[in-house]
Structures are given as structure tokens and as C-alpha cells.
Amino acid sequence: MIRPVTERDIQDICEIYNYYVENTAISFEENRVSINEMEQRILNQSIDYPWLVYELDGKVVAFAYANKWKARSAYRFTLESTIYLSSEYQGKGIGTKLYQKLFDELATRSIRSIMAVIALPNTGSIALHEKMGFEKVAHFKEVGYKYEQWIDVGYWQKMFD
């Protein structure tokens, strides 16, 4: 089931996200995010934009949301999207369904484009974004440093009519 986030989802969301924080360079955060911190993020971001979860058998196994891409007013028609799946539920079509629902909701708004920021390499995320109509538009070399290594970042963009 895909639905808007609720307070009871925060612990599951933290578990999903903190896996990536602690075990990968996909997230540039280096410290676990607490339940209180995640709750504040969700409250701040979901005021204006959708934050959705994918629930399976009573447990959140993925989440996706959109947020401002940049703060200045001229950027108001461009958003940044984010998606995270529980590591054991990747490759099952959940990301596609969840992202499609997010984009369907965004299509009802005055949105011109969506940006995705992907730490590289990340073949799974690239495949999902390109499947959803994103196109690579930028590549920044060695802009992050985590786990004693420099990490590149790519920008993918999806245009709305």
C-alpha cells in the first residue's frame, strides 16, 4: 500500500535510512539520524510537498518525497526527489510504483522539473531514475568524502509538460 507518511512510520523510516548512512556512501550523512530529527525533517518537508511510504505487511519498506531544489524564488518550479528502499526489498518493483505515485501527485502542481542527486556509482538508483524518465544532466567529481574515499555526484532531471 502506498500512502502519505504518518507519525507511526518514523521508526521504520529511520531504520531504512540509517542503513544507508552507516553502510554506504549513498547518503552523505555520516551519523545516524534520530527519530526526533527525522520527525522534524518530515514535518518541515511535508508541509508543502508529498512524503509517501510503501507499506507491506504492516511495515514501511520504502519512502519517497519531494522538496525544494533550491531556496530562491526563481527555482520554485523545480523540486528534488528522494527515494529509499529497505535493502531487502530492492529489485521488486516497489521503487517504480512508489515513485510513480509521487510523480502523479506532483503532476497536479505547477512543477516544471524534478532533480535527483545520486552518489556515484549507484547502478540501481540510476536504472530506477532513467526508467522513470530522468536524464543525466551533470556530473560533479569528488564532491563528497566518506569512508576514506572521494565520491562523485550525478544530477538527473525529469521534465514535466
pLDDT computed for residue 155 by the predictor:
98
Q: What is the pLDDT of residues 16-67, one digit of tens each?
A: 999 999 999 999 999 999 999 999 999 998 889 999 999 999 999 999 999 9
Is the pLDDT assigned to residue 161 strictly greater than 90? no
Is the pLDDT assigned to residue 140 strictly greater than 90? yes
Using the CB atoms, write b or e for 103-116: b if 16+ within 10 Å.
beebeeeebeebbb
Residue 54's nearest CA partner among 89, 29, 22, 25 is: 89
pLDDT computed for residue 46 by the predictor:
87
For the chain, give the mean pLDDT: 95
User: Beta-carbon neighbour count of residue 33 at 10 Å?
Assistant: 17
Gap between the Cα atoms of 119 and 125, Å rounded: 9
The structure's pTM equals: 0.95
Which of 3.10.450.50, 3.40.630.30, 3.40.430.10, 2.70.40.10 is the CATH number of 2-159?
Answer: 3.40.630.30
Is the pLDDT assigned to residue 15 strictly greater than 90? yes
Report residue 25: phi and psi, to 5°: -100, 10
- Residue spans of the domains in the chain: they are 2-159
Is the pLDDT assigned to residue 90 strictly greater than 90? no
Integer CA distances (angstroms), 19 to 12, 22, 27, 88, 95, in order = 11, 5, 10, 11, 17
